[in-house]
Structure 1
Amino acid sequence: MPAKVLEAIFTLLVSHDTPRKGHIGWIRVSHVCSKWRAAAIGSARLWCNIPVDVLDNRWVSIFVQRSGNEPITWEMPKIWTSPYFAPPPRSPLSPHVQTLIQENLDHIAKLRLYLPASTPENKKWIRTLGAKASLLTSLDLDCLFSPPVSLASSMAPFAAPLLSELVLKGISPDLAGVSWSNLLTLNICNAQLDFHPLLAVLSSAPKLKELTLRDIYLSSTTSTGAHNRVFLSKIQKLDLRSDPRTCVIICKALSIPPIPSYRVDFAGPQISFQSGVDPIIDVISVIRERVRDAYCSERPLYQLEISQQSQTEELWGDVTIECGDERCDEEAELEGDGIMNFFKLSLSRGRISDENTLSLLKSLSLGTCVKMHASGYLLSDGDVWMDILPDLSRVDKLEVCLRAGQPFIEAAFELFDDTTSILPRLTWFTLNMVNLRAPYDDDPPIPIQLYTWIVDRQTRAGVKALHQLEVICCPGLTAKQKDLFYKLEGMGLLMDE
């Protein structure tokens, strides 16, 4: 069999049988016979992907030697993370491997390293890594140092000319004078950044598609006028998760077009939105601006999701907003273009007052919302529902879950009188995991309030009748109450306990 054919077969095997501890993987082909060995050793491309933390020093040296002048991919396997379990411990890079990386940095195309924060040798070595990396296209340094390590562009290759992906965690890069003409993805976490060099380097990245800044502290911040904003014309994903001050400053410094994914997490344990005035005003200003920029008259706000953040979230934030254009599977509902405008507002329990919650909701274009999902503690107050229900004039599909359910039913029952039309376009209504037991003995039963509201709206002039009612996993319904719902005519009914 010709050597070229063997090389092609071995190339396929490389991705399917990677070396791991105690198992040399595809390298076994070089032990079969002299012809196979010659074909394997003679193909430099087979040895370019170096799994650095699963091979001993001898094998790492062999990989480097046999890769020749081919661009090297030097990656540690990604760490599997879970909110329930601590990540597996990482061993520090051996001095031998550190030296090999430094000596061959100019031949590395992709470099991904996870360095334990508890090892002082890692901090010392990362400061001497070097900046000469003419072939580097992807750099991922996950160090999680606390406090983060400050690195100048002369110490590390995060200013490489071909760099298209940069991930820095636990490292504070000095961005002065750095230019990223080819950068597509930027992810910086747990770092201190100088504000103006950050804006300058973002303005030098015309191809940037994904920007993530988490747990960032900004220094030397001054306000920027609208004319000085950085316009990220190619951006498709923006993820900001820091304290309110940092998020607001960055949001006001960037000009973002409507994009598929826009997330800002105002996470600041030192700032409470319960009584603070300035933080909530700043957050509302960002949301209002985002609504104005993202939801043009041709495509107004389509779907609104209001929920409580889970304790398993990476950050237990005060306020999270997500908005942008998303593909919708139900293209027929959107007149064939398959695009919808989506907005998600997520708040943490007990961290924001009802007044501030209402202020946030009122800052949205609720009158243009067509679909809405509400759950958790965020809308667990009937007064908030009483204030926003009259604004939801275009909602045709509504799902209410958990603690938001009872206050919604009580507010809708109270507001839906002879002169008021609440949710006039609603045709699909879902209650999910809502406790339908009345909280007080003297209250009308919650299921009866729900039933009365539905019957009343089915015959109300100027109000669309419900086509579908879903009551899913909602305790508190008696057999007689269930019979009342089953006797409703003219609509589909799903009752799943």
Structure 2
Amino acid sequence: MSPQNVSSFWSTRFERRSEELSEDIDVLSAEVEDLEYASKAYLSALRTRIENIRVEKAQSQTTIALSLPAEIYLHVCTFLAEVDPLGELCEYDACTSVIEDNGADDISSTTSTEFDGYANESYVGSETSDIRLSHGLGWSRVTHVCAKWRNWATHCATLWTTIPLDIRMPWLQELASRSRELPLDIIISCDVDKDVALRFLQDHIHRIRSITADGGSDVVEAILNDHRAPLLETLDIDTITSSSRFVLPGDLNSILPCLRVLNLRGVISSQKAFEQAALSQITHLAILSAIFPLSREGLFHLIQSLTCVRFLQLEDWLENPDGVGPFTDAPISLPSLETLILRNRMSACGAAMRFIKLPPSASVTLYILPDYIDSNSTAETTEQYMQRSGLDWLLETVDTSSYRALRISCTRVDHHVGRASLPSRWQLVVTAQRDADCVELDEYDLDGVRQQDQWSGPSFADLKIVCIVTIPVNAEDESNALSLGVFEQIIKTIPLASLTVLSLNIHTILASAVNMSWDYMKWLSILGEADNVRLFQLISPMNTERSEPDPHIEILLALCCSQEGSTRRLMPLLATISLVNIDADASSEFTIENVITIRGDREEHFTLRTTQVLGLLAELRNLKGDALRSTYPEGAWNLKYFNAIESVPLSSVRSVAPATVKRGWVEQLRRYLGDDQRPKGWGGEWIGLISP
């Protein structure tokens, strides 16, 4: 229609309408209002139509978007699809509801989205009913920038292979269509519609590559009982957070011939199912908190079938941990095993450890929980603990000579459940790395404050041993002696000659010893092989009570000494000492005949403080600048020893952030000590402390 025809068309329509109207004022006024509203709506619709046609023909008016190559754009989408998947719950707001009212493929709409099915699925998702949640658009929002980007994304099948089943069926079918028969990764959440999930799985089970189910696991069980999943490589089932159930199919080789990764958390499965399950093709197996734990025989059959496993994680999985008898079965070789994670009662961990013959290069994480306490049982010796827990077997099997960094922490943790206080526990934590560059020597030893239920999962260390020992009220001395004995056995077993980094957090356990036999002479013997250590760290827990004698002074004094008959001091390559939360005013009393030969008057005893030993150590080792690092989270060290010297305002010292490291303070500490601060009886040279 030409512009002239359009003009005459509307003129004719308006003239006819005007003739039909009466001369009544109210009628004419109403006509004006109706005409204004109708004309605005009509003009808005025309403008929208014009914009849609312009976008469709021109692809996009944004030159930056058009200039991006398809390969880069699709790579970005692939990354976003991993970090922001479709269907994730997000906060529902008015803007989202407007978008959700329109279909993504409706070019007549002013806005678009991928899934208009989300609009009615928002719900109140908090206890206070003030947060509305809906299934979000995820990464697909970037496909709405322009039609060209959208065209690239919708025709890239690999972007649509991860499908959450908690969205509506029409859009599930659309996602399946866009994936173009590629293998699918299925996510089943706790709020899934089980009928929808069942229909979708039945239609596409032939090309499903992985299933991750936090809910609806009974649907997965029903599908696997009636259908083969020829391409399924990963099966991750969690029944703890939902009321659903899952029983492991018996003949996995025929039902799931390509299965490689199997993660089961809280799964209901009979002993027979585990014993009959052929797991020879599994490379990654994790069984966590099994509702029906394995028997010892079931555990043996399970490990025996894992001929190709590379990752094995077993947590809370073995029944009757106190009933494990003598070990007569030969250990099972797992030559491909790279990572082993065990968590259970001490006897159960020992049973599993002795079933497995580890490759020397395997990474091991062992969480040893205390056995149930028998009031009639006698105190356990260190040797018995090492045998029953399997620690002796582990340290003999793993190549401990390859470790370059070692941290040992032994702290006391009070255990509370609600308002009730349970028996305290010792937590002995051993962390070792083969690559010293990978070790992060934090100023805080976070392992020392964890509760028992927090020890779970991978540790990202080459060796992680967590021994939790209950401290009975009526047998505290025996418990302390056991923990200290296990620490001594471990530090003597792991070769120190290969270490370049050594970190100790053992003040609490040493201070609790009934007889303080851990003097500097004993440390000379224990650390005698640590010839390659370049960084040595001492950590004291926060709010540690002062003890006399102080264990850290004994260790620092040992670093000043040389072994009897030798002029070589401990750790000859030592370049850095890190002190974390060490008590500056702690002291120890020494017998003069054992340490000092005096020219002049003779004293029977003298007392050394931490600062004095550090001054001596700095002199002997020539530690300057950053070589001696002090970190005191509570700020008391800095307040006492640096405020007067550095003229730092008192307020700023008190507000020092935790883990603030003071550098270059050795020279100031020397000046602060002076001759009058030396140990009482100082009048000659330190025999055995200063090398000739």
Q: Settle same-fold status: TM greater than 0.5.
A: yes
Report the AA paired with residue 375 of structure 1.
Answer: N
3-state SS of 2:613 partner: helix
User: Is the strand fraction higher in 1 or 2?
Assistant: 1
User: Which residue does the alignment assign to 1:190?
Assistant: 289
Relative to structure 1, the CA distance from residue 52 to residue 483 in structure 2 (aligned partners, 3 Å threshold; closer, same or farther) is same
Confirm or deny: 8 A CA contact 2:523 2:555 kept in the other structure: no
More divergent stretch after superposition (238-247 vs 436-445): 436-445
Gaps of 5+ in 1: 78-89, 116-121, 332-340, 459-463, 490-497
Q: CA RMSD in A?
A: 4.9
Measure how far apart 1:218 and its partner are: 3.3
Gaps of 5+ in 2: 1-58, 60-68, 88-134, 416-423, 440-460, 472-477, 590-604, 646-664, 674-692
3-state SS of 1:171 partner: coil
Pair 1:60-2:172 in alignment: yes
User: Which residue does the alignment assign to 1:225?
Assistant: 328
Report the AA paired with residue 475 of structure 1.
Answer: A
User: Which residue does the alignment assign to 2:536?
Assistant: 398
- Cα distance in 2, alignment partners of residues 114 and 390 from structure 1: 53
Pair 1:366-2:492 in alignment: yes
What's the % identity of the aligned pairs? 15
Alignment of 1:16-95 (within 5 A): 16=80, 18-20=85-87, 21-23=135-137, 25-26=139-140, 45-53=158-166, 55-67=167-179, 69-75=181-187, 90-95=190-195
Confirm or deny: 8 A CA contact 1:390 1:423 kept in the other structure: no
Measure how far apart 1:251 and its partner are: 0.6
Alignment of 1:444-463 (within 5 A): 444=607, 446-451=609-614, 454=617, 458=620
Report the AA paired with residue 433 of structure 1.
Answer: N
- The one of 1, 10, 13 equivalent to 2:77 is 13
Alignment of 1:151-170 (within 5 A): 151-154=247-250, 160-170=256-266
Confirm or deny: 8 A CA contact 1:241 1:265 kept in the other structure: yes
Confirm or deny: 8 A CA contact 1:308 1:347 kept in the other structure: no
Report the AA paired with residue 487 of structure 2.
Answer: L
- The one of 259, 264, 268 equivalent to 2:361 is 259
Q: Name which structure has the greater RCO, CA cutoff 8 Å, separation 6+.
A: 1
- The one of 101, 112, 123 equivalent to 2:212 is 112
User: Which residue does the alignment assign to 2:631?
Assistant: 472
- Cα distance in 1, alignment partners of residues 243 and 345 from structure 2: 17
3-state SS of 2:276 partner: coil
Give the alignment's TM-score, normalised by structure 2.
0.53
User: Which residue does the alignment assign to 1:211?
Assistant: 312
- Cα distance in 1, alignment partners of residues 154 and 242 from structure 2: 43
- Cα distance in 2, alignment partners of residues 14 and 451 from structure 1: 56
Confirm or deny: 8 A CA contact 1:392 1:423 kept in the other structure: no
- The one of 379, 401, 408 equivalent to 2:552 is 408
More divergent stretch after superposition (191-200 vs 122-131): 122-131
Relative to structure 1, the CA distance from residue 294 to residue 435 in structure 2 (aligned partners, 3 Å threshold; closer, same or farther) is same
User: Which residue does the alignment assign to 1:87?
Assistant: none
Give the alignment's TM-score, normalised by structure 1.
0.71
Cα-to-partner distance string for 1:35-63 (whole Å, 9 max, x where unaligned): 977x877765554321333x233322332
Confirm or deny: 8 A CA contact 2:347 2:371 kept in the other structure: no
Measure how far apart 1:402 and its partner are: 1.3
Pair 1:437-2:537 in alignment: no
Confirm or deny: 8 A CA contact 1:106 1:135 kept in the other structure: yes
User: Which residue does the alignment assign to 1:424?
Assistant: 570
3-state SS of 2:437 partner: coil
- Cα distance in 2, alignment partners of residues 182 and 114 from structure 1: 24
3-state SS of 2:200 partner: helix
User: Which residue does the alignment assign to 1:281?
Assistant: 384
Relative to structure 1, the CA distance from residue 176 to residue 49 in structure 2 (aligned partners, 3 Å threshold; closer, same or farther) is same
Pair 1:128-2:236 in alignment: no
Confirm or deny: 8 A CA contact 1:181 1:207 kept in the other structure: yes
3-state SS of 2:319 partner: strand
Measure how far apart 1:212 and its partner are: 0.9
- Cα distance in 1, alignment partners of residues 144 and 666 from structure 2: 72
Confirm or deny: 8 A CA contact 1:240 1:247 kept in the other structure: yes
3-state SS of 1:454 partner: helix
3-state SS of 1:225 partner: coil
Measure how far apart 1:188 and its partner are: 1.0
Measure how far apart 1:385 and its partner are: 3.4
User: Is the helix fraction higher in 1 or 2?
Assistant: 2
- Cα distance in 2, alignment partners of residues 234 and 197 from structure 1: 21
- Cα distance in 1, alignment partners of residues 411 and 318 from structure 2: 23
3-state SS of 1:358 partner: helix
Confirm or deny: 8 A CA contact 1:438 1:446 kept in the other structure: yes
Measure how far apart 1:289 and its partner are: 2.3
Relative to structure 1, the CA distance from residue 23 to residue 364 in structure 2 (aligned partners, 3 Å threshold; closer, same or farther) is closer
Relative to structure 1, the CA distance from residue 363 to residue 7 in structure 2 (aligned partners, 3 Å threshold; closer, same or farther) is closer
Relative to structure 1, the CA distance from residue 347 to residue 399 in structure 2 (aligned partners, 3 Å threshold; closer, same or farther) is farther
Report the AA paired with residue 231 of structure 2.
Answer: L
Confirm or deny: 8 A CA contact 2:266 2:288 kept in the other structure: yes
Cα-to-partner distance string for 1:238-261 (whole Å, 9 max, x where unaligned): 111111121111011111122352
Report the AA paired with residue 437 of structure 1.
Answer: D
Relative to structure 1, the CA distance from residue 230 to residue 176 in structure 2 (aligned partners, 3 Å threshold; closer, same or farther) is same
Measure how far apart 1:378 and its partner are: 4.0
- Cα distance in 2, alignment partners of residues 416 and 34 from structure 1: 72
Report the AA paired with residue 296 of structure 2.
Answer: F
- Cα distance in 1, alignment partners of residues 150 and 338 from structure 2: 46
Relative to structure 1, the CA distance from residue 308 to residue 221 in structure 2 (aligned partners, 3 Å threshold; closer, same or farther) is closer
Cα-to-partner distance string for 1:255-286 (whole Å, 9 max, x where unaligned): 11223521111123734999741797244562
Measure how far apart 1:189 and its partner are: 0.4
Report the AA paired with residue 209 of structure 2.
Answer: A
Measure how far apart 1:231 and its partner are: 1.1
- Cα distance in 2, alignment partners of residues 203 and 466 from structure 1: 55
Pair 1:202-2:316 in alignment: no
Pair 1:181-2:296 in alignment: no
- Cα distance in 2, alignment partners of residues 251 and 261 from structure 1: 13
